[in-house]
């Protein structure tokens, strides 16, 4: 049963359909959904990644292109299915395997390591981008509706905090979240 | 036709900005070359952007254009800073040389602003007196400073009052103030601004330290607590270290010195202009100018018999080496840096670590300098110990998780969403010692896009560095326990990086031209009219952050230059 969700139905700027599906499945294991709280899917991390990869350099794109392929080759080999088609337990097993390899490798020049190195670099990259996509300013396509910030209690792009808000133990979830767009709007209003 | 300038300042960062201001105010026409772009305040109105400034490091040099290589020892082959050379090019955006463009490192520094203590100028003598003549290992190249605290005191005062530093003095003319630093060396007067409001968890840190018998006080900060000169009072936005300040509360040479220099009408800034050679007369004994590349890579030459090089300790040594100004072989020697001991704690109540600047914090100075107690680990010199209660955004926070915890999956999600708002840091920094083994030279293979050799760093963390990290980890753990922390962990040691942004020593100052590169005014022993300024002048690094001291040295150099012209 292929994993589909809202995010993978949009058109991608850079990723192919298969790439988006696979990467999205990895992101969803890094920051899962299903506990009633937002995860990578709800915050549209995959949209963030698609745009980021489209903007950035060749090395990064190659890493996604080759990484997705290597991951699917690996799981087809192991289980006869693409990564996105595996059960959550199997997905986690595969990712753990990849991580275990990372531990043995040096942090040195991942680019010229063989396939195993490629997969751990790929996973490290998707991890970075998942975190960024969860907690970036929404202008980058991730952190949809500031759901990531709500989850952790970060009020986002604030001009500053006052003494009352800076009391120890203050509940930051009572501060209305702002994005960069909100700040721009405030300044535009002030100009009028 | 070759262009001529009355004076050239290369690099308008912390030190170059000060010198440009002093010279232009005295009526000298200065041409400033800076390899970075000119930043405007408007650009930073919307700087609350972790992806741009932290993840993508838009203010730090990229290795593709500014390669630096590293190797742990002479037997190894150097490669591009491995901790920063990942697929994204900057996996450790805060462990690269400081940012580029007028303002330099002060564009996005934290603003911890320290005077060295009297003892810091006599590190070698004090260590040998206390621990014996063999305390330092045989490769040590440590020396005392050729100047003392009292020589720099008036210049420290100028930094605090001309540029703006907030804080509470502990020792004005020998009169102690229990609210200030009990260990500071005597000062003529206090700070021009009171301390900042502290970040939420700092109270708990301070109280715990007091119960443990330490004497915490508030960190002196190059952040305005009230409007002061061209600075505005801090708004505690918490996008501070690694970011620009949207209200100009953080002292940056861009808005202090460079702005003042521009107002004289005597400063011309040529941005995106990268110096690659310091030119000399045929005897090699006198500076004649600077050669630089413009953004398109065209070569320009400007003649001047007064050149101030202020491109940060690393680039300064690269320029000297690339220009062949190294007759005594001392350029690039005596490289020193801090190893950072970052620890994190989880607190029982909300600490809201995203509020306030990094420096809205308390410090324990009891174990710094020669105040480090006798210990079994063999630690010879101490370190400041600070709370880091603010300035932590979620993406950066996710990069520092308890060791052994799986960094993904439901467990990670639960942990991070529960604890992000309860985090706080405790920090110390261990100064490395100068050694024959640690130095910079030109990389024989790697070149930048203009074909100039990259700087190569040969450095490893020494036994002493590691022992110090272990020692201070125990101290921080005890404070965390006393704070009632529910979790405590340290960043791995030895650190993966070898640049802390506190690099110093690479063009040491001294009175003897045989074993130093510049004199106490920063003038090259070898080449008259050439000043090389910044942390590279330091004979030793202290447990304190270096910038206020290198700013003080810049005022000293400027005074000296003005006396001579
Ligand atoms: C994230 C961060 C946090 C920091 N926090 C603190 C802190 O809290 N406290 C503290 O004391 N210090 C801190 N520092 C360190 C501080 O920024 C430096 O000590 C200080 O800026 C060094 O001053 P400088 O004048 O030597 O060089 P810089 O300020 O780095 O200026 C160098 C200038 O030279 C220019 N340049 C370089 N090469 C060339 C070339 N070839 N041609 C032309 N121009 C060139 C650069 O563009 C730059 O403008 C921090 C640094 C960073 C990056
Ligand atoms: S915390 Fe204060 S000094 Fe730092 S960027 Fe915000 S307003 Fe500026």
**Pocket mutation for ligand 2, best pick of B111, B234, B393 (most atoms within 8 Å of C-beta):** B234
Vertex B272: Cα angle to B271 and B274 (nearest 5): 105
Find residue B362's DSSP bridge partners: B218
Contact predicate A141/A51, CB 8 Å: yes
The pTM (predicted TM-score) of the whole model is 0.95
Q: Does A185 touch chain B (CB under 8 A)?
A: no
Cβ of B420 within 8 Å of Cβ of A154? The answer is yes
Interface test with B, best of A95, A109, A132 (most B CBs within 10 A): A132
Q: Is the dihedral of CA A131, A135, A137, A139 positive or negative?
A: positive
Q: Does A30 touch chain B (CB under 8 A)?
A: yes
- The chain-wide mean pLDDT, for chain A, equals 89
- CA B535 – CA B187 distance, rounded (Å): 22
- Measure CA B433 to chain center: 16
> What's the whole-number mean pLDDT along residues A79-85?
97
Q: Does A84 touch chain B (CB under 8 A)?
A: no
Q: What is the pLDDT of residues A119-175, one digit of tens each?
A: 999 999 999 999 999 999 999 999 999 999 999 999 999 999 999 999 999 999 999
Q: What is residue B533's predicted lDDT score, i.e. its pLDDT? A: 98
Q: What is residue A107's predicted lDDT score, i.e. its pLDDT? A: 42
- CA B480 – CA B385 distance, rounded (Å): 12
| Ligand 2 closest atom vs CA B223 | 3
Structure tokens at A40: 């990578």
Q: Is the CB of B390 under 6 A from ligand 2?
A: no
Find residue B274's DSSP bridge partners: B293
Q: Say how many CB pairs under 8 Å bridge A and B.
A: 145
In chain A, the residue whose alpha carbon lies closest to the alpha carbon of B71 is A108
Q: Is the CB of B223 under 6 A from ligand 2?
A: yes
Coil, strand, or helix at residue A147?
helix
Q: Is the dihedral of CA A124, B244, B297, B34 positive or negative?
A: negative
- CA A79 – CA A101 distance, rounded (Å): 19
- The chain-wide mean pLDDT, for chain B, equals 96
Q: Give A154's contacts in chain B (Cβ within 8 Å).
A: 354, 393-394, 420-421
| The length of chain B, given as a count of residues | 565
- CA A40 – CA A143 distance, rounded (Å): 8
Q: What is the pLDDT of residues B302-343, one digit of tens each?
A: 999 999 999 999 999 999 999 999 999 999 999 999 999 999
Distance from residue B101's CA to the centre of ligand 1 (Å): 10
- CA A33 – CA A38 distance, rounded (Å): 6
- CA B374 – CA B382 distance, rounded (Å): 11
Query: Residues of B numbered 476-505 whose beta carbons fall under 8 angstroms of chain A's beta carbons: which are they?
Result: 496
Residues in chain B with pLDDT values less than 70: 1, 87-91
Q: What is the pLDDT of residues A10-65, one digit of tens each?
A: 579 999 999 999 999 999 999 999 999 999 999 999 999 999 998 877 888 999 99
Q: What is residue A110's predicted lDDT score, i.e. its pLDDT? A: 40
Q: What is the pLDDT of residues B349-370, one digit of tens each?
A: 999 999 999 999 999 999 999 9
**Pocket mutation for ligand 2, best pick of B238, B388, B392 (most atoms within 8 Å of C-beta):** B238
Q: Is the dihedral of CA B552, B553, B554, B556 positive or negative?
A: positive
Rounded to 5 degrees, φ, ψ at B144 are -75, 160
Q: What is residue B95's predicted lDDT score, i.e. its pLDDT? A: 81
ipTM at complex level: 0.94
Q: What is residue B330's predicted lDDT score, i.e. its pLDDT? A: 98
Q: What is residue B238's predicted lDDT score, i.e. its pLDDT? A: 98
Structure tokens at B310: 């202020």
Q: Give A167's contacts in chain B (Cβ within 8 Å).
A: 200
Calculate the alpha carbon distances from B241 to A67, B291, B432, B527 in Å. Answer: 34, 33, 23, 37
Q: Does B394 touch chain A (CB under 8 A)?
A: yes
Q: What is residue B87's predicted lDDT score, i.e. its pLDDT? A: 64
Query: Residues of A numbered 114-153 whose beta carbons fall under 8 angstroms of chain B's beta carbons: which are they?
Result: 121, 124-125, 127-128, 130-132, 134-137, 140, 148-149, 151-153
Q: Does B62 touch chain A (CB under 8 A)?
A: no
pLDDT bucket at A102, cuts 50 / 70 / 90: low
Q: What is residue A11's predicted lDDT score, i.e. its pLDDT? A: 79
- CA A31 – CA A45 distance, rounded (Å): 10
Q: Is the CB of B278 under 6 A from ligand 1?
A: no
Cβ of B408 within 8 Å of Cβ of A127? The answer is yes
Q: Is the CB of B392 under 6 A from ligand 2?
A: no
- CA B375 – CA B24 distance, rounded (Å): 51
- CA A3 – CA A22 distance, rounded (Å): 9
Q: What is residue A133's predicted lDDT score, i.e. its pLDDT? A: 98
Vertex B270: Cα angle to B268 and B273 (nearest 5): 155
Contact predicate B385/B426, CB 8 Å: yes
| Range B269-295 burial, b when 16+ CB lie within 10 A, else e | bbbbbbbbbbebeeeeeebbbbebbee
Rounded to 5 degrees, φ, ψ at B417 are -70, -30
Structure tokens at B265: 């009408």
Say whether pLDDT at A111 is over 80. no
Contact predicate B184/B115, CB 8 Å: yes
Say whether pLDDT at A105 is over 70. no
Q: What is residue A109's predicted lDDT score, i.e. its pLDDT? A: 39
Q: What is residue B409's predicted lDDT score, i.e. its pLDDT? A: 98
């Amino acid at each position: 049963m292929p994993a589909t969700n809202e995010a993978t139905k949009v058109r991608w700027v850079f990723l192919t359909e298969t790439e988006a599906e696979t990467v999205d499945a990895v992101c969803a294991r890094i920051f899962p959904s299903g506990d009633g709280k937002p995860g990578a899917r709800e915050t549209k991390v995959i949209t963030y990644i698609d745009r980021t990869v489209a903007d950035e350099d060749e090395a990064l794109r190659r890493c996604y292109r080759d990484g997705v392929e290597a991951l699917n080759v690996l799981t087809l080999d192991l289980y006869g299915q693409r990564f996105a088609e595996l059960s959550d337990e199997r997905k986690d097993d595969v990712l753990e395997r990849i991580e275990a390899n990372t531990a043995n490798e040096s942090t040195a020049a991942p680019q010229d390591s063989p396939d195993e190195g490629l997969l751990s670099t790929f996973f490290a990259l998707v991890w970075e981008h998942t975190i960024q996509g969860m907690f970036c300013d929404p202008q980058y396509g991730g952190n949809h509706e500031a759901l990531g910030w709500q989850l952790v209690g970060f009020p986002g792009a604030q001009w500053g905090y006052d003494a009352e808000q800076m009391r120890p133990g203050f509940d930051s979830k009572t501060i209305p979240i702002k994005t960069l767009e909100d700040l721009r709007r405030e300044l535009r209003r002030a100009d009028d | 036709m070759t262009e001529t300038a009355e004076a050239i300042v290369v690099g308008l960062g912390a030190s170059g900005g000060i010198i440009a201001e002093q010279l232009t105010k005295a009526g000298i026409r200065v041409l400033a070359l800076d390899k970075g772009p000119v930043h405007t305040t408007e650009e930073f109105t919307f700087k609350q952007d972790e992806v741009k400034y932290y993840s993508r490091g838009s203010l730090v040099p990229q290795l593709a254009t500014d390669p630096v290589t590293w190797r742990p020892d002479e037997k190894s082959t150097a490669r591009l800073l491995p901790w920063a050379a990942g697929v994204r090019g900057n996996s450790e955006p805060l462990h690269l040389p400081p940012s580029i463009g007028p303002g330099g490192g002060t564009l996005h520094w934290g603003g911890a602003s320290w005077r060295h203590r009297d003892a810091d100028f006599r590190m070698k003598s004090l260590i040998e007196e206390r621990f014996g003549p063999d305390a330092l290992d045989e490769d040590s190249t440590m020396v005392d400073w050729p100047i003392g605290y009292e020589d720099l005191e008036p210049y420290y005062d100028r930094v605090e009052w001309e540029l703006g530093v907030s804080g509470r003095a502990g020792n004005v003319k020998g009169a102690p103030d229990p609210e200030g630093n009990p260990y500071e060396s005597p000062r003529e007067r206090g700070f021009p601004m009171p301390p900042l409001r502290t970040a939420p968890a700092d109270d708990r840190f301070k109280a715990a330290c007091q119960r443990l018998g330490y004497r915490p006080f508030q960190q002196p900060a190059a952040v305005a607590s009230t409007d002061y000169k061209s600075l505005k009072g801090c708004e505690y936005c918490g996008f501070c270290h690694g970011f620009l300040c949207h209200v100009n509360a953080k002292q940056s040479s861009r808005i202090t010195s460079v702005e003042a220099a521009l107002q004289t009408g005597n400063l011309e800034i040529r941005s995106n202009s990268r110096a690659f050679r310091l030119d000399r007369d045929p005897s090699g004994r006198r500076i004649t100018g600077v050669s630089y590349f413009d953004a398109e890579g065209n070569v320009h030459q400007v003649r001047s018999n007064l050149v101030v090089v202020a491109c940060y300790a690393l680039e300064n040594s690269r320029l000297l080496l690339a220009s062949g100004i190294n007759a005594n072989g001392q350029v690039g020697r005596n490289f020193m840096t801090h190893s950072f001991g970052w620890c994190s704690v989880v607190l029982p109540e909300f600490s809201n670590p995203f509020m306030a600047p990094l420096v809205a914090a308390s410090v324990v100075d009891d174990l710094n300098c020669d105040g480090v107690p006798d210990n079994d680990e063999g630690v010879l010199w101490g370190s400041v110990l600070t709370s880091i209660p603010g300035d932590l955004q979620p993406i950066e926070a996710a990069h520092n998780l308890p060791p052994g915890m799986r960094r993904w999956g439901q467990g990670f999600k639960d942990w991070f969403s529960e604890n992000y708002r309860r985090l706080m840091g405790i920090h110390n920094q261990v100064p490395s010692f100068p050694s024959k083994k640690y130095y910079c030279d030109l990389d024989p293979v790697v070149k930048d896009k203009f074909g100039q050799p990259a700087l190569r760093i040969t450095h490893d963390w020494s036994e002493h560095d590691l022992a110090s990290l272990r020692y201070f980890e125990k101290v921080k753990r005890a404070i965390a326990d006393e704070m009632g922390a529910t979790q405590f962990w340290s960043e791995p040691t030895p650190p993966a990086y070898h640049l802390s942004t506190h690099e110093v020593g690479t063009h040491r100052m001294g009175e003897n031209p045989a074993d130093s590169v510049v004199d106490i005014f920063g003038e090259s022993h070898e080449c008259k009219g050439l000043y090389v300024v910044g942390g590279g002048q330091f004979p030793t690094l202290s447990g304190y952050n270096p910038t206020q001291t290198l700013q003080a040295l810049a005022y000293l150099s400027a005074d000296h230059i003005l006396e001579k012209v």
